[in-house]
Amino acid sequence: MYQKMFKNRDYLPKLAIFLSLIAICAISFGLFTGSTAVTPKTPEAGRQLSSPVEIPASMVFAGEAIPLKNFDVREALDRELLVNSYFQSQTIQYLKKSRRYFQVIEPLLRKNNIPDDFKYLSLAESGFQEKIVSPAGAAGLWQLMKKAAIENGLEVNTEIDERFNMEKATDAACRYLNRSYRQYGSWISVAASYNAGISGIKRQTEIQDSKNYFDLWLNEETSRYIYRILALKLILENPEKYGFKIADEEKYPVLGCKEITLTGSVTNLAAYAHKQGVNYKILKYFNPWLRQSSLKNPTRKSYLLKIPLPGTRNFDLEKID
């Protein structure tokens, strides 16, 4: 029958009517039998999908109040909250990694008398990527330029780059932040200077006759910088409010390791790694500041190497059963 219908084009309108009737019957049958279409699920808690984000009535960063009653401040924060709330894949990674990195950064900030909120500056800088290098050459968790790193006590050469040493880089960043605070007396201006440079912010305060960051007309990157840090602070402190629900067991674990002192040279780091019970990849993973496959160390300087504890690399599948 269908072959005859397609050979004779007069039957095509009839075929269309026939198929339409079948579709109508199918829909009607669904209605009469109580079938309903499947609707997408929305989060059990927090905001609904594709909805505006909530801006708090008040907010403090490093003990300093944010003037959220100013429309320009409020809208700038709203922009960064939207960007980071709806860039779900990235923000979920931040939430998963936060425990591993904050447990190192937080005590070092306290030791150096830097407000705890500056851990979010580190996140804004690198996204918890220890080995990241920017197009401008800034490197590591705190995105330190080579000159700034050396000025703040880090070793940077072809063999060693301590910008990739999380503990040492955090201490170096703290030295920079404390020096900047002595200049400005405001932690928000200190955070801005981390992006634009101490002299950069100072020059703008003089040109514009204002020391208040929120009253300064700045380049696009620096004008967004503080608000990105504020948005990350809000989301990571209260993820469910912004649509993220990460179970504790889904967060990346703190990796146990021991430290050994290395004072001599190592001609083959792969062989050295095997002697420590690990492989070259894992040695470099825990010590990314080692930039070559060997270490000459002619001055016999002491270095602390992290070696993971036995079983650290094994993922416990029973925890997710």
For residue range 221-274, what is the model confidence (pLDDT) as tens digits? 999 999 999 999 999 999 999 999 999 999 999 999 999 999 999 999 999 999
pLDDT at position 17, please?
Answer: 55
Residue pLDDT, tens place only, 106-141: 999 999 999 999 999 999 999 999 999 999 999 999
* Residues in CB range of 38: below 8 A, 6 or more apart: none
pLDDT in tens, 290-321: 999 999 999 999 999 999 999 999 887 555 44
pLDDT at 37 over 70: no
- Res 220 pLDDT > 70: yes
DSSP for 139-172, please give it.
BTTTTB-HHHHHHTT--BSSSBBGGG-HHHHHHH
Q: What residues have CB less than 8 Å from 51, skipping those under 6 apart?
A: none
With 70 as the cut, is the pLDDT of residue 45 above it?
no
How confident is residue 29, by pLDDT bands cut at 50, 70 and 90?
very low
Query: Do residues 169 and 145 make contact, with C-beta atoms less than 8 angstroms apart?
Result: no
Task: Quick: pLDDT tens for 79-107.
Answer: 999 999 999 999 999 999 999 999 999 99
Residue 164: which region, alpha, beta or left (left: phi > 0; alpha: psi -120 to 50)?
alpha
Taking residue 314's Cβ as centre, other Cβ atoms within 10 Å add up to 7
Who contacts 279 (Cβ-Cβ below 8 Å, separation ≥6)?
Answer: 270, 273
pLDDT at 41 over 70: no
Contact assessment for residue 243 and residue 47, using Cβ atoms and an 8 Å cutoff: yes
Which pLDDT value is given to residue 267?
96
pLDDT of residue 52: 86
pTM: 0.82
Give bridge partners of residue 303 from the DSSP assignment.
262
E strand or H helix at 19: helix 12-32
Helices vs strands, H then E, count in the chain: 12, 4
- Residue 4: pLDDT band by 50, 70, 90 thresholds? very low
Please write the tens of the pLDDT for every residue from 150-209. Answer: 999 999 999 999 999 999 999 999 999 999 999 999 999 999 999 999 999 999 999 999
Terminal-residue alpha carbon distance, the chain: 56
Q: Give the per-residue pLDDT at 46.
A: 54
